[in-house]
Amino acid sequence: MADAYTADLAYIHDAGYGGFARRAAPAILRLFKRKKITKGLVIDLGCGSGIWARQLVDAGYEVLGIDQSPDMVALARTLVPEGRFVSASHFDAELPPCVAVTSMGECLSYQFDKHHSAKTLRKLFQRVQRALAPGGVFVFDMVGPGRVPGGRQHHCRVEDDWAVVVDAEENGRFLRRSITSFRMMGALYRRAHEVHRLRLFTPTAIASLLTAARFQVEIRRGYGRANLGPGWTVFIAGKSRRPGDTPEAGRRTSSDAI
């Protein structure tokens, strides 16, 4: 696995970009209640600093967070001491029996693991399906072509003790983010640089992989008030409550948030 979200960028992401998980959390909790999932273990793939895990524990669920960044996992353990967190690739981490699996913030699109491909995603979806209890749900988002309108974007943000500069490029198949961060350490700033590469799959391709893994699939445009940008899609993959059932033909698509 490539080094990513090391100490300074993990800190910046938690401090400045955690609002997305906070806005998305209420909608996913409401979805769980509609699915009659009111307790049990929820596995969060790409758990980051534990913001969503904190919401889960406060709502009465158990949580297992998996993230390839040891620095993110360290933050999550501090924020959610009641949870269990593992630093590993979600492509080979153990997925114990659970009632739900989530992954927010494009995590399944990142190519931090060199084995990331349509084949490994299919295997991951199959493993999630086996881990879920009957009636369980897999909620996640991924990015596809058009995530960077015009093919290039520049983003700069400056706060009291940190700053970040991001240059993004997309060619329709891959998205590359070049990230330079500056974090105040005493009287000086420490500079760090990371390059994140994401593989872009169309919503139709992901829905087909989910259907092949025996999920009933819904496609949405956001999580409640956490609306997504262009080329960014939410998937709700449900497991049948009756063993042996096959997914209904087709899939449901909505422009609404969950």
Question: CATH number of the domain that 71 lies in?
Answer: 3.40.50.150
Helices (H), 99-224: 118-131, 203-212
For residue 56, the Cα-to-chain-centroid distance in whole angstroms is 15
Specify the number of domains making up the chain. Answer: 2
Question: Residues 179, 205: one domain?
Answer: no
Question: Residues 14, 121: one domain?
Answer: yes
Task: Classify residue 2: in a domain, yes or no.
Answer: no
Nearest in space to 107 (alpha carbons), one of 57, 166, 66, 59? 66
- Domain around 222: 7-143+200-253
From first to last of its 258 residues, the chain has per-residue pLDDT tens of 567 999 999 999 999 999 999 999 999 999 999 999 999 999 999 999 999 999 999 999 999 999 999 999 999 999 999 999 999 999 999 999 999 999 999 999 999 887 789 999 999 999 999 999 999 999 999 999 999 999 999 999 999 999 999 999 999 999 999 999 999 999 999 999 999 999 999 999 999 999 999 999 999 999 998 889 999 999 999 999 886 665 554 456 666 888
Question: Residues 39, 88: one domain?
Answer: yes
Half-sphere exposure of 242 (CA within 13 A, CB side): 3
In the sheet with 152-158, reading across from the earlier edge strand, the strands are 152-158, 162-170, 174-185, 188-199
Question: Residues 37, 94: one domain?
Answer: yes
Question: Residues 38, 83: one domain?
Answer: yes
Question: Residues 99, 175: one domain?
Answer: no
* pTM recorded for the entire structure: 0.94
CA dihedral for 164, 113, 67, 226, sign (positive or negative): positive
Strands 62-67 and 41-45 come out as parallel
Residue 177 sits in a domain whose CATH number is 2.20.25.110
Question: Residues 98, 35: one domain?
Answer: yes
Using left for φ > 0, alpha for ψ between -120 and 50, and beta otherwise, residue 128 falls in: alpha
Question: Residues 106, 225: one domain?
Answer: yes
Question: Residues 105, 56: one domain?
Answer: yes
Task: Classify residue 185: in a domain, yes or no.
Answer: yes
pLDDT at 249: 44
Question: Residues 188, 205: one domain?
Answer: no
- Gap between the terminal Cα atoms of the chain: 32
Query: Distance between CA 54 and CA 96 in Å, rounded?
Result: 20
Please name every residue paired with 174 in a beta bridge, in sequence order, or none if there are none.
Answer: 199
Nearest in space to 87 (alpha carbons), one of 99, 101, 72? 72
Query: Distance between CA 144 and CA 96 in Å, rounded?
Result: 29
pLDDT at 255: 63
Task: Classify residue 90: in a domain, yes or no.
Answer: yes
Question: Residues 85, 96: one domain?
Answer: yes
Question: Residues 90, 119: one domain?
Answer: yes
